[in-house]
């Protein structure tokens, strides 16, 4: 079974390994630069296997070169946001992580999934530094925002969240673009269930969701939601599911955007992005998408 490598044994990396084990997606190999951390956490996770019934193994390593043999590598290491910080503030502190693993995995056959913040800028940087094809370097991007919007709609309507298909594209920040007309509940358009004014209130909550978690917890940013989104994305690659998921990639002409990364819906399979999709956007949505892409480009230039 194909290995999924995870860089980072902290909250995000360890919970991603746990969700992958719960789904029995593939054998997992965790690495952390703090010696013994990934091996200790993987042992802890495997001791739950008899109860949780994983059908895969979760192992740790202290050698980053072991990641080169993995089919999928998830970059989940790095500093997290502090209260009051913007995602772009992390670029200077986390960019060396993207560069280090871009050099390590250059020439590999892996599909690389970026979760380290700011995810859009680091996805673009990793792609540029690694030389890997853009379709094999994908950021978690608005996949997390999509999940959060599904939760908010479920809370608002009282309907089952798994029946909700939400659509969010763009940058993973305040310029994200929730697409109302592509959002449905069991095939029913959202505007049948939620009025425009209330929809806009939900979108405002969505834009502040990450900040609210940081503000409430004080000591850490979100990791359960991102970990589940990472597991979903890795599963789509390993099992060649051909699922349509929003992912951040280095763009080359979509909506006139180049040399920047934001999320668009894409068909995800064994080689990463099989095909990028370009949903129809109105002028306001296009402007928001452009603003987000320009913000990512500015972060990269900094």
Last residue of a domain, one of 105, 121, 139: 139
Say if residue 241 is in the same domain as residue 170: yes
pLDDT of 129-142, one tens digit each? 999 999 999 999 99
Q: Looking at residue 212, what is its pLDDT?
A: 82
**Same domain as 240, residue 92:** no
Domain closes at, from 92, 114, 139: 139
Burial 202-217 (b: 16+ CB within 10 A, else e): bbeebbebbbebbeee
71 Cβ contact list (under 8 Å, min separation 6): 2, 3, 4, 26, 109, 110, 111, 237, 238
Co-location of 102 and 154 in the same domain: no
Q: Give the range of the structural domain holding residue 87, as residue numbers without chain letter.
A: 4-139
Residue 219 pLDDT > 70: no
pLDDT for residue 214? 76
Residue 121 and residue 175 in one domain = no
Catalytic entry in 3, 172, 175, 254: 172
pLDDT tens string 227-239? 999 999 999 999 9
Q: Is the pLDDT of residue 1 over 60?
A: no
Whether residues 59 and 184 share a domain: the answer is no
Same domain, yes or no, for 95 and 233? no
Domain termination site, one of 81, 108, 139: 139
Distance (Å, rounded) from C-alpha 241 to C-alpha 179?
24
CATH number of the domain at 58, please.
Answer: 3.40.50.720
175 is catalytic: no
Whether residue 29 contacts residue 241, with contact meaning beta carbons closer than 8 Å, is answered with no
What is the value of pTM for the model shown?
A: 0.94
Q: What total of structural domains would you count in the chain?
A: 2
**Residues 200 and 231 both lie in one domain:** yes
Residue 220 has pLDDT above 70, yes or no: no
The angle that helices 283-301 and 119-130 make with each other, rounded to 10 degrees, is 60
Note whether 90 and 103 are same-domain residues: yes
């Amino acid at each position: 079974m194909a290995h999924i490598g995870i860089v980072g044994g902290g909250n995000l990396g360890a919970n991603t390994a746990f969700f992958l084990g719960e789904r029995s997606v593939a054998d997992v190999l965790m690495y952390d630069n703090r010696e013994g951390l990934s091996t200790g956490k993987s042992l802890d996770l495997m001791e739950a296997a008899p109860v949780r019934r994983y059908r895969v193994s979760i192992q740790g390593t202290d050698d980053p070169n072991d990641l080169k043999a993995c089919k999928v590598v998830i970059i989940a290491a790095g500093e997290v946001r502090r209260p009051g910080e913007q995602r772009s503030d992390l670029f200077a502190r986390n960019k060396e992580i993207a560069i280090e693993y871009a050099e390590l995995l250059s020439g590999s056959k892996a599909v690389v999934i970026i979760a380290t913040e700011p995810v859009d800028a680091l996805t673009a940087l990793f792609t540029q530094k690694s030389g890997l094809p853009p379709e094999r370097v994908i950021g978690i991007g608005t996949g997390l925002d999509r999940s959060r919007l599904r939760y908010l709609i479920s809370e608002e309507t009282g309907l089952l969240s798994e029946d909700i298909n939400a659509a969010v594209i763009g940058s993973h920040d305040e310029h994200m673009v929730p697409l109302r007309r592509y959002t449905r509940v069991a095939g029913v358009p959202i505007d049948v269930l939620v009025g425009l004014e209330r929809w806009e209130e939900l979108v405002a909550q969505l834009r502040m969701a990450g900040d609210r978690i940081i503000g409430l917890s004080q000591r850490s940013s979100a990791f359960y939601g991102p970990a589940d989104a990472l597991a979903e994305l890795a599963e789509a690659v390993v099992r060649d599911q051909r699922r349509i998921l929003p992912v951040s990639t280095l763009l080359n002409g979509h909506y006139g955007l180049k040399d920047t990364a934001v999320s668009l819906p894409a068909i995800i399979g064994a080689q990463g992005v099989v095909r990028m999709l370009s949903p129809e956007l109105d002028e306001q949505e296009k402007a928001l998408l452009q603003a987000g892409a320009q913000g990512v480009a500015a972060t990269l230039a900094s």
